[in-house]
């Protein structure tokens, strides 16, 4: 019932390399918080559950501190780590399917070659091996199973990406593509757009009258309460006790217990909003509720807490121009409309071969600017996709491009400069390795999608969000 804050992306098999080496455990004592129960399964792979405790154990083995995870929680670190864990499970399933094995002799050989288990003379010392197992709370069988999995995963990667070594012609092509310089002339189109504040009331009224049906919006009356661990349990911790109480509230909602009764039971006075509409799309409680209103009564996540809301009434109507927010919204729509129509006109001319150098010079009117892109990765002036488009075009061709601030430009490709390249250059091996690495990553990415589809990965986003809340 609780909506997730973000959809989980596909897992990344290539990321498994990060954890291919066994790292000592760092015990955080979180087992009691996420132990037991189907609701604590964080993922399902081929109908096999991955429990939250499995994930926590994996985080322990990663060697990352709680502080590091907390600082990067909004940078999707947990999603990436979960992706890596799932990748490991997928690889083990594929290894089993391909019937890859590691002999006992090879296992013993690898253990005896591990530098951690060698004395000062380079000889295997069983006491060092046993100390390692004790330090990491592992049995010999557990370690050997992990070692076997890591070795076979490496073998599988080698098998999948064999032949990824790039031939000379590909290396040269890769280097040329990455390091060629491209000079472009461009015109900033911003000065051709009518400013938002220049639209008159007559312009706005005409647009509203012409689009009245489309501009009607839902105005809602609603009530809500904020639910935090402090309110429910008297603690600041997102522990199991808190989530049990959240589950109880969800059960009450499913049984059609009304909002007022739940609020009274919790002894919380609701905040009431009348005739509310989301104009600005700001990340406020009210806007979150407005955008999330799927059911009359619902509980949703918001900024480290939970919000229980009730929709009292919904009315569809036009706002008034006397409301500055509505006026600004309509002005913004008109600005974007005019901007779109102006840009489309030029693009249509380009596509129909009606836009030429004379058109470019006339439009520029002595305001044509020049810029040299240092490489295909140079996005210092134009956004990355625009740069890729420019590099794909022939010389003296025109197109529309943008920067990261949504500014639009008419651009012309002027000069293409290829770098000098020789197989005998001192950095050839580095370039060759870089080209092969990119080729290999492309192969592994394709393999990753194949495994996700083959073994049917499903993420329990609600449980993932609970884990994130634990670290916040």
User: What are the pLDDT digits (tens) for 209-227?
Assistant: 888 888 888 889 999 999 9
Token digits of residue 355? 């836009």
Q: Is the pLDDT of residue 440 over 80?
A: no
Is residue 52 within 8 A of residue 84, CB to CB? The reply is: no
pLDDT of res. 281: 66
pLDDT of res. 15: 39
Question: In degrees rounded to 5, what are phi and psi of residue 415?
Answer: -145, 135
The rounded distance, in Å, linking the Cα atoms of 166 and 430 is 12
The rounded distance, in Å, linking the Cα atoms of 206 and 194 is 17
Is residue 333 within 8 A of residue 214, CB to CB? The reply is: no
pTM for the complete prediction? 0.47
Helix 201-210 × helix 324-351 angle, to 10°: 80
**DSSP assignment letter at 256:** T
**Tens digits of residue pLDDT in 387-416:** 999 999 999 999 999 999 989 999 999 998
Is residue 465 within 8 A of residue 301, CB to CB? The reply is: yes
What's the whole-number mean pLDDT along residues 450-460? 83
Q: Residue 3: pLDDT band by 50, 70, 90 thresholds?
A: very low
The rounded distance, in Å, linking the Cα atoms of 186 and 459 is 46
DSSP per-residue string spanning 304-364: TEEEEEEEEEEEEEPPPTTSHHHHHHHHHHHHHHHHHHHHHHHHHHHHTT---HHHHHHHH
Q: How many CB atoms lie within 10 A of CB 420?
A: 8
Is residue 95 within 8 A of residue 152, CB to CB? The reply is: yes
């Amino acid at each position: 019932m609780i909506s997730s804050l973000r959809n989980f992306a596909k897992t990344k098999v290539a990321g498994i390399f990060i954890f291919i080496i066994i790292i000592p455990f760092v015990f955080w004592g979180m087992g009691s918080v996420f132990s037991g129960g189907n609701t604590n399964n964080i993922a399902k792979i081929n109908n096999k559950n991955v429990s939250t405790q499995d994930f926590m154990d994996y985080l322990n083995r990663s060697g990352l501190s709680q502080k590091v995870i907390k600082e990067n929680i909004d940078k999707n670190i947990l999603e990436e780590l979960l992706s890596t864990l799932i990748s490991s499970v997928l690889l083990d399933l594929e290894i089993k399917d391909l019937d890859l094995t590691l002999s006992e002799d090879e296992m013993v050989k690898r253990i005896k070659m591990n530098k951690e288990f060698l004395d000062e003379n380079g000889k295997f010392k069983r006491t060092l091996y046993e100390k390692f197992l004790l330090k990491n709370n592992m049995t010999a069988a557990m370690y050997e199973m992990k070692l076997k999995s890591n070795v076979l995963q490496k073998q599988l990667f080698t098998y999948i990406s064999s032949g990824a070594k790039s031939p000379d012609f590909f290396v040269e092509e890769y280097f040329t593509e990455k390091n060629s310089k491209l000079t472009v002339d461009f015109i900033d189109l911003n000065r051709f757009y009518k400013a938002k504040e220049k639209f008159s009331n007559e312009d706005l009224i005409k647009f509203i009258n012409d689009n009245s049906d489309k501009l009607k919006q839902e105005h809602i009356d609603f009530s809500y309460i904020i639910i935090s661990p402090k309110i429910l349990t008297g603690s600041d911790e997102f522990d199991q006790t808190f989530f049990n109480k959240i589950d109880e509230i969800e059960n009450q909602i499913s049984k059609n217990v009304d909002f007022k009764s739940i609020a009274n039971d919790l002894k919380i006075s609701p905040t009431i909003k009348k005739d509310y509409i989301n104009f600005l799309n700001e990340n406020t409680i009210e806007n979150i509720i407005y955008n999330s209103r799927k059911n009359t009564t619902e509980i949703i996540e918001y900024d480290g807490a939970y919000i229980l809301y009730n929709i009292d009434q919904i009315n569809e109507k036009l706002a008034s121009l006397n409301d500055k927010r509505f006026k600004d919204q309509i002005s913004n729509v008109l600005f974007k409309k005019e901007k779109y129509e102006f840009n489309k006109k030029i693009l249509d001319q380009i596509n129909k071969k009606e836009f030429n150098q004379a058109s470019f010079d006339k439009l520029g009117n002595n305001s044509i600017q020049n810029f040299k892109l240092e490489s295909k990765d140079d996005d210092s002036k134009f956004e990355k996709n625009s740069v890729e488009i420019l590099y794909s075009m022939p010389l003296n061709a025109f197109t529309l491009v943008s920067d990261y601030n949504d500014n639009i430009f008419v651009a012309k490709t002027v000069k293409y400069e290829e770098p000098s390249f020789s197989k005998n250059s001192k950095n050839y091996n580095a370039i060759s390795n870089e080209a092969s690495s990119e080729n290999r990553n492309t192969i592994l990415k394709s393999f990753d999608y194949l495994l996700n589809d083959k073994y049917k990965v499903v993420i329990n986003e609600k449980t993932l969000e609970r884990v994130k809340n634990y670290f916040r």
